Chains A and B, each alone.
Chain A
């Protein structure tokens, strides 16, 4: 009996210490979260159900339960750019995971091979990632300029007499904006490369004996082993694709169907002289929810795939 009690006591003591440890380690982050984010998050959710614009900027006014969804109603049914923005942002999120990550992985695989000059390529490849997206926007605005840029002459090789501004064409404008950021995967590539290099040599050797070498080895051995990292970078890429703002601002200002969710929010809250905070926050709620969906979906996709691999084995 006595022994059991001391044991329990010990456990309790251990539990206390554990709780203390958890609290202590979480505290700074949670404090920052509360000070910096909690109030904004609560405000965003609460005021998305309020009339809040230039007429009552310091005192948002609850719509009441009858008109609870007024802001959302406006955003979904009246505001002309919302669906376009949601479609674009979602597309960019998907492209981030579906285009950016495979490109980054292929380059990382190439960089993992011992070829001459590989270090040079690796070092040069991250440089564009050190330039801010704002500066990149200005650079690409020049490259896309129809009179002195470098894109129109290239198009003219295939389509004689082409002289339009591609940033004003529905469709091409979206592609042009996507190209302005999607290929710069330097940091992502490095994160993947790191993981590839960490694949134990023994595994590769075993694969060699099984006759898997080169690309085959990459596909069957390496890729499954770096799945964790791929999941991380996919989520990051999809997220940043969903939040694109600078490219819209610098390249098109939303012309030719290129609005993004972040751009719409800023347009409503800041650019509009009628300062539509309430409506902007309704869009912000959608942005937060959609963001969570992205994280969940990427997680699901990767765990699904992983499950399949296990069965294969």
Chain B
């Protein structure tokens, strides 16, 4: 009896839900149809909203996309950057244009989708991703050079001025410079009986790494893969020719050059000796070995690593630049402004570029965000001493080493393209496996690269 009752109840419930489902479905259809026609009209007047806004006297909005979305508990620097942006927004709250910073997680996807549709975000901090070539080709990005020249911001934008110069145009200004050298653990070096002389050339670097491996206490030379791809960068920078190749687009000539072959093989040989178990496409996977456990001799990472070093190791870990007095500094992407906005919006956007490179903000980027600021007029060492923070002092030391290196070159990823770089890293990582024929793998890489740029 009870069973019957339950089944009747169930049946009623089912019918009810079915009817409800059907009802909502019909309604859904109607809505869908409506929205479709709405879509058509909207598509027809796509450009309209902006014009409308200014006509009705509403405040214009300057949207600024950036990638500092992380919660403060996860990454304090993100909060520091957001504070800097908010301050600018508040300072211009009374103006005719509202400045609206928007934190997004996949900024690069959003930008590339917009560009594919022929538009560009009002302002975007492209970070290390770089401004898409397609956007520049379509004339979607505002040329900042005239503004920089007019306002004498050359020193304030620093390396951006030369690195981002594309046939006399500057499409982006990065407020912080991606500056790279090496970090080494002096305790591990001492135990292995090697000194910082190991950084005089790559041969002695290799010998030092061998001695560290011989310690046999689980210590190893360095974290290879993504990190050691910068060896290629550094070796190429050691010759006049190689430097020129790094600074220009990748051509078949470069791929077949002796300089490139030597650079790749130097790195691959070191990596193979170092072992594939210490090879990763993302430094982050093994970074704790260096920064916390102290079991690694060398870490190929940027100056920002200063803030990641465990307190117990601050005494031991020191920054140094690549053999041959070489450092790597790239403006990368940075803040880019859209072309063809209203005068008021463009003005505020340019004001923002000036603000981000001003000494006041740049100081914060150094002390709070813990990055290498682009502004050349700052005295980093004095600022660090003023802060009294051990990590900031390490950062200052690393930054000044990078900034004062005899040769400063750009990361090849920016001039040659990220697809080229990931192909190089993949080849390098495969070479780390013991017994891999480096020469053969290099020939294959050459073929891959020729095809990629074709």
Instruction: Determine the distance from Cα of A274 to Cα of B130 in the docked complex, in whole angstroms.
Output: 12
Q: Which residues of B contact A212 (CB under 8 A)?
A: none
Contact status A164-B434, CB under 8 Å = yes
Find B133's partner among A54, A256, A277 (CB 8 Å cutoff).
A54
Instruction: Determine the distance from Cα of A152 to Cα of B275 in the docked complex, in whole angstroms.
Output: 14
Find A163's partner among B112, B138, B275 (CB 8 Å cutoff).
B275
Contact status B112-A168, CB under 8 Å = no
Give the residue name and chain of the B residue nearest to A165 (CB): B276
Give the residue name and chain of the B residue nearest to A32 (CB): B32
| A58/B285 contact (C-beta < 8 A), A165-B433, A253-B422 known | no
A149 to chain B minimum Cβ distance, whole angstroms, is 10
Q: Which residues of B contact A57 (CB under 8 A)?
A: 115-116, 118, 134, 137-138
Q: Which of A143-175 contact B (CB under 8 A)?
A: 145-147, 152, 163-165, 168-170
Q: Which residues of A contact B426 (CB under 8 A)?
A: 253-256
Q: Which residues of B contact A35 (CB under 8 A)?
A: 36
Contact status A147-B118, CB under 8 Å = no
| A274/B417 contact (C-beta < 8 A), A54-B134, A165-B279 known | yes
Instruction: Determine the distance from Cα of A256 to Cα of B431 in the docked complex, in whole angstroms.
Output: 10
Contact status B36-A165, CB under 8 Å = no
Digitize A239-268: 1 where CB-to-B-CB distance is under 8 Å, 0 elsewhere: 000000000000011111000000000010
Q: Which residues of B contact A170 (CB under 8 A)?
A: 430
Instruction: Determine the distance from Cα of A147 to Cα of B430 in the docked complex, in whole angstroms.
Output: 17
> Does B59 have its Cβ within 8 Å of any Cβ on chain A?
no
Contact status B112-A275, CB under 8 Å = yes
Q: Which residues of B contact A81 (CB under 8 A)?
A: 448
Contact status A271-B422, CB under 8 Å = yes
| A28/B276 contact (C-beta < 8 A), A57-B116, A168-B430, A275-B134 known | no
| A78/B454 contact (C-beta < 8 A), A28-B32, A169-B433 known | yes
Q: Chain B interface: which size bin?
A: 35 or more
Q: Which residues of B contact A277 (CB under 8 A)?
A: 116
Q: Which of A40-66 contact B (CB under 8 A)?
A: 53-58
Contact status B452-A80, CB under 8 Å = yes
Instruction: Determine the distance from Cα of A58 to Cα of B419 in the docked complex, in whole angstroms.
Output: 22
Instruction: Determine the distance from Cα of A32 to Cα of B417 in the docked complex, in whole angstroms.
Output: 38
Q: Which residues of A contact B451 (CB under 8 A)?
A: 78-80
> Does A31 have its Cβ within 8 Å of any Cβ on chain B?
yes
Contact status A58-B432, CB under 8 Å = no
> Does B109 have its Cβ within 8 Å of any Cβ on chain A?
yes
| A54/B422 contact (C-beta < 8 A), A80-B447, A165-B276 known | no
Instruction: Determine the distance from Cα of A123 to Cα of B433 in the docked complex, in whole angstroms.
Output: 41
Instruction: Determine the distance from Cα of A273 to Cα of B423 in the docked complex, in whole angstroms.
Output: 13
> Does A183 have its Cβ within 8 Å of any Cβ on chain B?
no
A190 to chain B minimum Cβ distance, whole angstroms, is 22
Instruction: Determine the distance from Cα of A165 to Cα of B33 in the docked complex, in whole angstroms.
Output: 55
A25 to chain B minimum Cβ distance, whole angstroms, is 11
Q: Which residues of B contact A79 (CB under 8 A)?
A: 451
Instruction: Determine the distance from Cα of A54 to Cα of B137 in the docked complex, in whole angstroms.
Output: 7
A213 to chain B minimum Cβ distance, whole angstroms, is 32
Instruction: Determine the distance from Cα of A79 to Cα of B116 in the docked complex, in whole angstroms.
Output: 23
Residues of A within 8 A of B (CB): 27-28, 31-32, 35, 53-58, 74, 78-81, 141, 145-147, 152, 163-165, 168-170, 252-256, 267, 270-275, 277
Q: Which 3 A-B pairs have the closest CB atoms?
A: A146-B277, A54-B134, A80-B448
Residues of B within 8 A of A (CB): 25, 28-29, 32-33, 36, 109, 112, 115-118, 130, 132-134, 137-138, 275-281, 285-286, 289, 417-419, 422, 425-426, 429-430, 432-434, 444, 447-448, 451-454
With A165-B276, A168-B279 given, can you name 12 additional A-B contacts, CB distance below 8 Å?
A28-B25, A28-B32, A31-B32, A54-B133, A78-B454, A80-B447, A141-B285, A168-B276, A168-B430, A267-B419, A271-B418, A274-B133
